[in-house]
Copies of this chain bind each other. A is one copy, B any other.
Amino acid sequence: MSAYVPGEQPQDGGWVKLNTNENPYPPSPAVVRAVREALGDDGSSLRLYPSPDSSPLRAAAAEAHAFPSSRVVAGNGSDDLLNLLIRAYAGPGRPVGMLDPSYSLYPVLAAAQDAPVVRVPIGPDFRLDAAAVAASGAALFFLTNPNAPLGAGFPAAEIASLASRFPGLLVVDEAYAAFAEEDCIALAKEMPNVVVTRTLSKGHALAGLRAGYALCPAEVADVLHRVRDSYNLDRLAQAAAAAALRDAGWLAHNVGLIKRTRTRMLHELTAMGWRCVTPCGNFVLTEPASARRAASRETSAHAFEHLRSRRILVRRFPGHPLTEKGLRVSVGTDAEADAFLAAAREWTALD
């Protein structure tokens, strides 16, 4: 069994780190206040077990999405929830479905449960093959929307139509939905076979905290509560996540900044001749190309190394035809985007 390989996390400074889709801005000031408050003067609240079912976080998520709190399940990052969903619903004879490409953690978690994996390819036009998902035979299907590592988004209406035809559990993994135009929360509210998973790592700038949640049908919520660790989120994470979810103004402002920078990156890269997938997350998948070098796997590696020599870290996904020519570049601050764009331009001008 092979482990999931997360992006590189250099511990020395001086890097423009655009390789793991972290939010470039600090989280809401309400988060800092909530952690300080939970900590208190002497940390004495830490001696007590946290709320076993993360009530504060669930109440805040329920409010943010106008969703019944009894159907919200909190996790130690959304990875915890993906894992729990696979434990509860997949196994030998109960395949896990996923789009190809999508999140490489799914097959790792499926292998741990001895569950076969069914992959539904995304076509070169980046469209969802809903008929293939519906006929996949998966017990649960992870529909990553916006897709990572592509960044493409699928219309909510297509997913709604798919949900009514798919006989299994449809898990819409919305890790990047804060940066997209649409989401499937209304669908999760209505449909008995739709789960939406969310993380606070991206939109809420809390990757360091490991907090996520699932919006579920009542029965699924009940099952997840039974299989999860009885205290899966600590006190500080619960307090911080609840505060972040309550600060909708901060989220809208932060997402606005990132989308503006994303648009600029998209335009400048396109102008430079680097083809981009229309980005719906906080990253751009772009194919380096220059007069001398056509887009290819080798060209991608070459540009990657050039950026690296300028201490700009991006990520390659050489294992798939749709991503092998590309670089996945997180949307950073404007200064980080400028540093990346300058190095990209420099590479493009190389003979």
Contact = CB atoms under 8 A, between A and B. Distances in A.
A14 to B, nearest CB: 15
Interface string A41-68: 1111111111110000000000000000
Contacts of A83: 229
Contacts of A35: 35, 39, 43, 236
B20 A226 contact: no
Contact of A208 (B1, B46, B87): B46
A44 B231 CA distance: 26
A290 to B, nearest CB: 32
Interface in A161-206: 201, 205-206
Interface in A14-49: 17, 20, 22-27, 29, 31-32, 35-36, 39, 41-49
A46 B240 contact: yes
A32 B47 CA distance: 12
Contacts of A46: 26-27, 31, 205-209, 240
Interface residues of A, number: 61
Contacts of A230: 3-4, 6, 79, 105
Contacts of A45: 208
Interface string A69-87: 0000000110110010001
A234 B234 contact: yes
B36 A32 contact: no
A208 B6 contact: no
A210 interface: yes
Given A42-B29, A43-B27, A48 B208 contact: yes
